[in-house]
Amino acid sequence: MKLKNTLGIAVLCFLIGVAFLLFTDGVMPWNRQPAIETVLEWGGLAALPVSSSDVVIRTKGSMFSRQVILRFECDSIGIEHWIRSSKGLKDKQYEKEGSKKTYRLYPGQAGAMGGTVIIQERQVVINMSWS
């Protein structure tokens, strides 16, 4: 009876772990840096500014498509330097709505479909997709 309970608990823990990996958009700590590098490569973007903070990365999609959303905050000097250093942004026109600038990066690089970079004050949101 004790072996049956232990086996049941082990199976339950395994199923909860699988569900967590399949149904969350979070990135595991060991995948964080590769996910950041991937979204930057897909957009032709420079490395994050040294002064960036509050970096959050999420993923969505399936085995046939992937969406990576990276958000960070930075001072305006760091953001301007980052734009000039990013070949995917430096010569692009952007749409401006109030204090929000939206860059459309279509097609993306390294096989990516493309995406957007939205800059509003100190916050930058990169949203890139691959299929």
> Does residue 32 lie in a domain region?
yes
Q: What is the count of structural domains for the chain?
A: 1
Instruction: Output the pLDDT for position 4.
Output: 66
> Does residue 30 lie in a domain region?
yes
> Does residue 15 lie in a domain region?
no
pTM: 0.79
> Does residue 14 lie in a domain region?
no
> Does residue 107 lie in a domain region?
yes
Widest CA span in the chain: 69
> Does residue 20 lie in a domain region?
no
For residue 120, the enclosing domain spans 25-130
> Does residue 8 lie in a domain region?
no
> Does residue 86 lie in a domain region?
yes
Q: How far is CA 57 from the centre of its chain?
A: 4
Across all residues in the chain, what is the average pLDDT? Answer: 86
pLDDT in tens, 47-104: 999 999 999 999 888 878 889 999 999 999 999 999 999 999 988 999 999 999 999 9
pLDDT in tens, 3-13: 666 767 766 66
